[in-house]
A = this chain, B = another copy of it.
Amino acid sequence: MAVLLKQLAAASGYSINTVSRALRDKDDVSPETKKKIRALAAELGYVNNSVAKSLRTGKTNTIGVISADSSNPFFAEVIMGIENAARASGYHILLTNTEESTEREREAISVLLGKQVDGLLLMPVLQQHNNGHYIKSLDVPYIIVGRWLPGLEDHSVMSDEYEKAKEVVLYFLKNGHTDILHLAGPSCVSSSVDRLRGYRDAYAEAHMPIQEELIIETKGHLEDGYHEVSALIRNERKISAIFAFNDLVAVGALRALKESGLKVPKEVEVIGFDDLNFSKYLHLSLSSVSIPKKTLGTLAFKTLLDHIENPEAPYTKKTVASRIVFRETTLEQEP
């Protein structure tokens, strides 16, 4: 069915090896021979069998991407950046999702290793029994994207989330807010930890007491923001500012605020995180911490590629700068 080197060899009269070398443009094949063989390959529609090639060369030109949830717009964007960069360098990506389960994560790593990926891009779960130890023992290059794992910080490519989270909350505190709701993300995600730490440290820096009940852990979904804020309002809990784990949660929160008649930003200011594409087109354009998602993906791939090509090189943590974008859900607004 498929055309093989063997057929090209038979049809051209050359040996399999010469055909192989001709197609790979090696310089001990004469130009005329190359031309003949190439024409024949094109004519018969020869496609190199990468599986055989990979077995022989020990390279698959494939990397594994282990994401938590590729349907989340943030990850979708990052993955797009990864895929673009990978394709530009002749690599392909094997994509798999863990839904924040350490078990699935371990399983995914193992399967991808079996598939002989040249490297791994991970968005790992941060938990008591996380896969840090297992990951540390890997002997393929790997980069942790947009997250971190204790002891493996040097493998991370991420943004300056802690700093920006703190800045956001300091902005609120400076403006006199005392009841700042933090709709936190899942505690098993390092981003949640960093953003929450930013919240806490801002309060500390302002010498303000934290109201623990204003820190609510969510799964980072639209409905979480909606339900949590609705519940708070039902219970007549006063809040005047919301720092959301991400824009999805923020959008849900905004909806709940609207339904309750609370005016944004006058009565409640809201700032999200990630700055998703749609955020600036919302009815009230959403103030958010803008992370260059595609850049993050691209940088992660390039960094991984560096380590694939140069396995001895030491890892160093890389950071891409994010910035707070003040839009219509805050009193302060950019021009």
Contact = CB atoms under 8 A, between A and B. Distances in A.
B94 A251 contact: no
B96 A47 contact: no
A84 B96 CA distance: 8
A6 to B, nearest CB: 15
Interface string A204-229: 00000000000000000011011000
Contacts of A113: 47
A288 interface: no
A114 B48 contact: yes
A50 B115 CA distance: 5
A252 interface: yes
A295 interface: no
A60 interface: yes
Interface string A274-295: 0001100111110000000010
A84 to B, nearest CB: 7
Contacts of A223: 281
Contact of A55 (B51, B62, B281): B51
A95 B52 CA distance: 21
Contacts of A255: 281-283, 285
A11 interface: no
Interface residues of A, number: 56
A4 to B, nearest CB: 12
A115 B282 contact: no
A132 to B, nearest CB: 17
A209 B245 CA distance: 50
A269 interface: no
A49 interface: yes
A20 interface: no
A70 B51 contact: no
A114 B49 contact: yes
Interface of A: 1-2, 47-52, 54-55, 60, 62, 69-73, 76-77, 79-80, 83-84, 87, 92-97, 110-116, 139, 222-223, 225-226, 248, 251-252, 254-255, 258, 277-278, 281-285, 294
22 contacts: A50-B116, A51-B60, A51-B115, A51-B116, A52-B55, A62-B115, A69-B80, A71-B77, A71-B79, A71-B80, A71-B294, A73-B73, A76-B76, A83-B97, A87-B97, A93-B95, A94-B94, A222-B277, A248-B277, A255-B282, A258-B283, A278-B278
